[in-house]
Amino acid sequence: MENQIRIAVLCGGPFAGPALMKLAMENYLCGIAIGTRDYKMAEQFRTQCEQAGLSFSHIGYKKDVSLIDAWLHEVKPDAVFSICFPYRLSAEILQKIPDGFYNFHPGPLPSYRGPSPIFEVIKRASTTTAVSVHRMQEEYDTGDLLFAEQVTVEKTDNYVSLAQKLSQRSGLAAMALAEMLQFSSRIPAVPQSSAGAAFYPFPGVQDMTIGWETMDAQQIIALINACNGWTRGAITRFGEEIMRVTTVGQEPQSTEIQFPPGTILEISENNHYAIACLNKQAIVIGPFSSDFGDLGMNYYESAGIRKGVQLGK
């Protein structure tokens, strides 16, 4: 195509794969900069860029973001797409292409700003999420909105499955924006509303810990799903033991009486545990693991994990 626009992509890893593939196939892609401390992944991206004749840059640490300036001068893109790039861009870099930096945020804006929208959306049992495309400003996730690609959140979705959906939808959104930029000199956008705006940092230990006495069964199921696939699992405790939970039945069970929340009601032969929750309900969770891996049922039995004990104490 005559006068084809050139698009450079800042990314954080494989999440950007569908967008990169679609942009490359339509000859929009001119370069990739990856922000990651995973040097093995960075070298894989470097090799692929060399094979495709694309400019490449590796931004290993926050302090290296200034390298983007020289890279942009070399690549000379018409626009820059940021897809889960982990580092903040300075106002000086953003001014290299005024109104030409666009972020593909894997969550609804302005209600899910910050680096962990996928976790928060699942944890809060939202039924929909979005890939929100907006112009970039120096502050995270605050620029004018161009459009949002809606994505349904299924009850069975965990972090990985929802991330895969959003990754695919980001590819479609990237192509949609590329074609807008190719055929229009002005892309309409609207300022983000301050109403309902919220910023969520990376979740800490407390955010991933099951509150048996304060969370109902559905909230616990949602938290376990939110932790599944990118952490070692939701956290629960028994005495000094810190245990991880990655799998859970998606429907609570009813009990005849209200057991103290967190009480182990049954232990199956395949190492699954029925645990009492609030409101005369229970959930079934998969085998416990730890930060050191699967320690096995015998270990947890020796630590006192048996029918009738109460977790979370």
DSSP 112-163: TBSS-HHHHHHHTT-SEEEEEEEE--SSTT-SPEEEEEEEE--TT--HHHHH
In the 8-state DSSP scheme, what is residue 215? Answer: S
Q: The tokens of 58 are what?
A: 């590796």
Taking 90 as the threshold, does the pLDDT of residue 106 lie above it? yes
pLDDT at 289: 85
Dist CA 92 CA 66 (whole Å): 10
User: How far apart, in Å, are the Cα atoms of 282 and each of 74, 110, 309?
Assistant: 59, 35, 14
pLDDT at 165: 98
Taking 90 as the threshold, does the pLDDT of residue 270 lie above it? no
Taking 80 as the threshold, does the pLDDT of residue 31 lie above it? yes
pLDDT at 181: 96
Q: Are strands 29-35 and 7-11 parallel, antiparallel or unpaired?
A: parallel
The percent helix, strand, coil of the chain (3-state, each to 5) is: 30, 25, 45
Mean pLDDT of the chain: 94
Taking 70 as the threshold, does the pLDDT of residue 2 lie above it? no
Q: What SS3 state is found at 173?
A: helix
pLDDT at 138: 92
Q: The tokens of 258 are what?
A: 């209200």
How does pLDDT run across 296-306, given as a tens digit for each residue? 778 888 888 89
pLDDT at 161: 97
- How do the domains of the chain map onto residue ranges? 7-106+131-183, 206-302
Percent of the chain exceeding pLDDT 70 equals: 99
- What confidence tier does 215 reach under pLDDT thresholds 50, 70, 90? very high
Taking 90 as the threshold, does the pLDDT of residue 128 lie above it? yes
Average pLDDT over residues 246-263: 94
Q: What kind of fold does domain 206-302 have according to CATH? A: Methionyl-tRNA Fmet Formyltransferase; Chain A, domain 2 (3.10.25)
Taking 80 as the threshold, does the pLDDT of residue 1 lie above it? no
Dist CA 249 CA 286 (whole Å): 8
Q: What kind of fold does domain 7-106+131-183 have according to CATH? A: Rossmann fold (3.40.50)
Fold matches, 7-106+131-183 and 206-302: no
Dist CA 87 CA 89 (whole Å): 6
Average pLDDT over residues 248-260: 94
Sign of the C-alpha dihedral computed for residues 48, 38, 64 and 114 taken in this order: positive
Taking 90 as the threshold, does the pLDDT of residue 290 lie above it? no
How does pLDDT run across 48-82, given as a tens digit for each residue? 999 999 999 999 999 999 999 999 999 999 999 99
How does pLDDT run across 159-203, given as a tens digit for each residue? 999 999 999 999 999 999 999 999 987 899 999 998 899 999 999
Q: The tokens of 39 are what?
A: 């040097």
Q: Where are the alpha helices (DSSP H) in 141-234?
A: 159-183, 217-227
